[in-house]
Each structure stands twice: as C-alpha cells, then as structure tokens.
Chain A
Amino acid sequence: MHTDQNPIDDLFRNKLGDQETTPPLGVWEEVRAQVQLDQVFHQKLYTHEKAVPKRVWKGIRASLHPSAHKIYFLSSYFQYAAAAVLILAIGLWWLNPTNEPSGIKLANLKPLSLAFQAQMKSSQYTSSEKVTQENTGNPWYSSRNNPRTDVPTESPVSYSSSPKQFFSTEIQRELSSNSTENESTENFDSASDVSKNPTLKNLLFDSKLITQDSKSEAIPSSTQPYLSSTANSRNNNNKTLPWTVSSLFSPDVNFASARNLGNEINNQQGKIQYTAGIRLGYSLNERWTIQSGVQYADQGTMQIPRGEQDNYTGTSSFSRLGPPMEVKAQIIDVPVVVRYRILGDKLRWYVNSGFNANLTGGASSILFGTGTEFRANPKISVSIEPTLRRTIETMPNLKPNTLGIFTGINYKFQ
C-alpha cells in the first residue's frame, strides 16, 4: 500500500469510500443470467457422452500396435461376407438340378456305380423296343416328337414337363402298367428290382450296358443323378460335376501406396509379394460359375512417416503424431468371384470379376481377371489367371493395389 498523502485523495476517499449506490434495474438479472447460462451448459455438457466412430479405436490401435494383425471375425466386413455366402448358398440350393420333382420315388432306386454312370453318359441313349423313340441322340427331343404308341390315350404323357420329369413319368407309367403282372414293382427299391423288371430296365438302360445276370450286375450307385444329368445335358460336364474346389497361389506385383500428411508413400511399389487361398465354386451352367473362399495376402511392410505437420487436414486413421510407423499389409480376404467361360472346352478361356471382403479390418477390393483352364480329365484341371485387385476404400490410408497371376489346381466333384 502506498504511503503518500494527498488532500484530494482524502476528500474523495472520505466522501465515496463507503458510499452505497443502488445499481440500475437489470444489472442483477444480467449477472444472474450469465451465471445460470454457464451453469446450464456446464451441467448439461461436462459429463455428456457421445458414441464414438469405430475408426477412432482402429487408428489408435494401429498406432499403438502397428505390427498387430488382429482378425475381427465379427467385424462388419465379415458379416457382409457371411451374408453374401449365405445368399449364395440359398441360391445354389434353389437352383440345384438334383431336386427331383414329385412322382416316382427315385431316391429309393439303388444307385448306379460311378463307372457305370460314366459309361452310360458316354453312350448314345437308345430306347428299347417298348419305348418308341428315334435314335436322334436327344432322347428328350425324340420323345417329344414321337409319343409312345403303347400308352393309353386316356393317360397321355405330359411332355410339357422337364426331361427328368418325363423320365420319372415314364418309369412310373411302366411300373403301373406292370404292377398287375408283377408284384415286385411295389417294392421298387433295389438293384435286383431293376433287373427283375424288364420294362424298367429297358426303359432306363441300354441293353448293351446292363447284364442280364442281376447277381453279377454292378450295384447302381445313383440312378437319380444319371436321370437328371443325362436328360438335361449329356455332354455338359459342368452340370455333371457342378462343384469345384480350387487351391490358388499368386505372385503379386505390388502397386501399393499410402498417403499421410499429404505425402505419397509407395516404398513397396514394384515389389513381389504373394497371395494364397482356397475357393469353392459352383457352375450355374456351362458358362457361369460362382466362386468363394478365403485367401491370405502378404503385401509387405510400409514406412508411414508422421510428425507435427501444419498441413494435416485429413481424417486419417493414422495419427499424425509420433515416430515413423511400420505397417505390415497382411490381409485375409473372402473373395466372391463370378466367372464367365468365353470359349473352349478342354482348354478354356474365361473372364472373371468380383470383390474381396476383408476380414482383417482393412480395405476390401474389387478384382478383374482373365485366364485359361486346362482340363487334364473331367475332374482335374489347372488354371492360370492374371488378376488386377483394386482397393475400394482405404485401410488406414493404405491402398494395396496389386497385379497377380493366380495359378490354381481345380478338382470337380458332385
């Protein structure tokens, strides 16, 4: 406190020092309003919580554990992939040509052996004398245009049904017509029944292909597939063996790039990495095939520079803070691929396209490719297909675009 004395100071101090003056109206209201405004905002917002976007934790985790490759099997990508596979499975089940129509219980027929089936399929179907059919190489066509003469008119054959329905109807008719003559047709459930029933045997099989001695006859392994596959497309091996399992391996040329802090990082560009996987395919018809499976890709390690940068404006999942970060691009994908065969039979040429749903919390990608497939035999083939994979979103800011050459070994099965 200062000690100098001044009479003017004393005058004003004495007159005004303890002077009270009533403040104007509104001052208190203003003060109270401001205090209450602060209180309202404080009370409402100090402990307020908000749901956080998922990408925030992904970015933090990538920064804290850059080499970690945790697979989130319940991630959204996996859910999308699972939904796609489920839809695909339902679709395939719906389209499955082995679903027999009602009529004769073909499931009760004891199966033909595979060798027997192959022999049957490779042979030209010829009818017996009881089935009026011209040997045109197409039993369905022949039957449609040459209805049987021994069928009663009050029970016309329904030729509007599918080929396998036609065969079913024919078999049922034969069984019915013989039921009065031969009681054994009531329990038509064994190979011996087939051989005992000459009408059915003649209807189903060429006499050249089945021996008359039922005891020494090969046990039929599956009459139902024979009926459906032979009637539908005799020369269509895709129909006969619709499923394919393929093991794939691809050396990849990496065009990976990443952006952070406005800089392009491409220190993996041009390096060779690899992708390996397995796929299950289903042939919808002789040209279209759908494949899905799982594949693993190792696309190297990148150095991502970071630091305090004034020009940082992005919404990168990488933090802009900290030392340079190494990111290992090791990716697990679920590919869903549609293939179209352009031409060829033993040596085929096809194009394909699809997408890879990423399971490792990273980027999904789309792919385009073309390839050739050499069929060593009806079940085994090898393929080679150059494929371009293009990232459709960044993980985190990483774009592992690659050109790969998928080599595969494929096995077809029923």
Chain B
Amino acid sequence: MQAQDIRLEESVLVDGCLKGDSRSQEGLYKRYSKLMYSVCCRYARDKDIAADILQDGFIRVFHSLESFRKEGSLEGWIRRIIVNTALEYHRKNAGITWIEEPEDKDFAPVVEEANGSLEAEDLMKLIQNLSPGYRMVFNLYAIEGYNHREIAEMLHISEGTSKSQLARARSLLQQQVEILFGEKPHAY
C-alpha cells in the first residue's frame, strides 16, 4: 500500500471517529493497538499496567482527534500520545527513581556482533527489568529518537541527568546482553 493510500485510509478513519462512528473507532484501534501496546510494554513493568496505559492513551487519542492535523503521520501522533500517557502514568502512580551511580566502564562491546537474531521479546524483557528512570530515558532516546533536551523537558529533569541515566541504562543492558548471550556472542 502506498503512502498516499495509507493517508487516505487514515483520513477516512479519522473523519469517522470525529463523527463518533464506532466502527471507525474500532478500525483505528485495531490498526494501531498492537504497535502501541508494544510501546506501552516498553515503558511499563508488566502487561497489566501496559494495558491500562494503552486504554487511557487511546481514550485520549479519540478525545483529541480534533486537534490532529492531517499533514503529519497519524501513527507518530498516536505514538506521542501513548508515550506521554505512559510517562504521566509513571509520574503519578509508580514514580520514577533517578539513580545517580557512576557508570560502569568495564563492559565488553559485544553488541557490535549483533546480526539480528536476538528476538524483540528478549530485548523487551531486558528493558522492562531496568529501573523506571533508566527505562524511560533509554526508551525515549534510543528507540523513540528524542534528544536529551527534549527528554529533560518531558521528564522535568536536567539534561545531565538524562545523559547519565542513558549511559547507565546502556551499560546495564550491555552487561545483561553479555550475560544472556555471552557464550554465543554471534547469536545476536
């Protein structure tokens, strides 16, 4: 399907949702729910919380559709709402601990051997095992593509804190990757 067709289909769905058509709402949900649930799982420590975040996030999506300008990507717009809902959830309910520890320097650069065989679910579990602060910053920087200034604004922290959190998260992830797959470094 070409980008123009996708845009047209999205536009039809959005128009239907704005009219309150339940089929359009369900269509929009089905189109993006799996992708967004994966996003939620990266920010939440378990599936139940991820489902709560997804539910609240999509309700916000439907309530905010009027503000969506059809110039940009609907997926990106929904993703931002879902991510913001996840961050808000953690701020208000779980809380985020900003652990300031010196970065561990003695990790081995095993990731360079990555060849794509490491499964997404494995990486998901590694991220979910991180403390909330590491998890948020790593997700925002490494996966979503935000920079430290944007992350600092979103999480109400300093850029330095964002950088240190990212460095520590990377270190821990790399160590865990090495522990899990160290015996066969070419496996991922």
Contacts and interface: CB of A to CB of B under 8 A. Distances in A.
A186 interface: no
A80 to B, nearest CB: 23
Contacts of A46: 143-144
A37 B92 CA distance: 30
Q: Contact residue range for chain B?
A: 35 or more
A37 B29 CA distance: 31
Contacts of A57: 26, 29, 33
B51 A65 contact: no
Interface stretch (A104-112, A200-208, A271-279, A316-324): A316-324
B120 A45 contact: yes
A46 B144 CA distance: 7
A40 B127 CA distance: 13
Contact of A50 (B34, B55, B62): B34
Interface string A208-244: 0000000000000000000000000000000000000
Interface in A314-341: 315-317, 319-322
A53 B51 contact: yes
B132 to A, nearest CB: 15
A55 interface: yes
B123 A33 contact: no
Contact of A32 (B29, B63, B112): B112
A51 B34 contact: yes
Contacts of B146: none
A42 interface: yes
Nearest to A51: B34
A56 B33 contact: yes
B12 interface: no
Contacts of B92: 308, 310, 312
Interface string B85-114: 000000011000000000000010111101
Interface string A13-24: 000000000000
B65 to A, nearest CB: 11
Given A36-B114, A46-B143, A321 B173 contact: no
A312 B53 CA distance: 12
Contact of A313 (B37, B59, B93, B170): B93
A46 to B, nearest CB: 6
Contact of B109 (A33, A43, A61): A33
Contacts of B110: 33
Contacts of A61: 22, 25-26
A16 to B, nearest CB: 26
A158 interface: no
Of A37, A44, A316, chain B has the most CB atoms within 10 Å of the CB of: A37
A259 to B, nearest CB: 15
Nearest to B188: A40
A322 B119 CA distance: 38
Q: Label chain B's interface by main secondary structure.
A: helix
A1 interface: no
Interface in B118-134: 118-120, 123-124, 127
Of B35, B138, B141, B177, chain A has the most CB atoms within 10 Å of the CB of: B35
A61 B56 CA distance: 11
B148 interface: no
A321 B56 contact: yes
A40 to B, nearest CB: 5
A34 to B, nearest CB: 5
A30 interface: yes
Given A48-B124, A64-B59, A40 B114 contact: yes
Contacts of A313: 93
A33 B124 contact: no
B38 interface: yes
B109 A38 contact: no
B38 A48 contact: yes
Interface in B144-159: 144-145
Contacts of A317: 55
A22 to B, nearest CB: 19
B71 interface: no
B43 to A, nearest CB: 11
Nearest to B177: A37
Nearest to A40: B114
A63 interface: yes
Contacts of A47: 35
Interface of B: 20, 22, 25-26, 29, 33-35, 37-38, 41-42, 47-48, 51-52, 54-56, 58-60, 62-63, 92-93, 107, 109-112, 114, 116, 118-120, 123-124, 127, 138, 141-145, 170, 173-174, 177, 188
20 contacts: A33-B111, A33-B112, A38-B142, A40-B111, A40-B114, A41-B127, A41-B138, A41-B173, A45-B127, A46-B144, A51-B37, A53-B47, A53-B51, A57-B26, A60-B58, A65-B22, A313-B93, A319-B56, A321-B56, A322-B59
Interface of A: 29-30, 32-34, 36-38, 40-53, 55-57, 59-61, 63-65, 68, 308, 310, 312-313, 315-317, 319-322
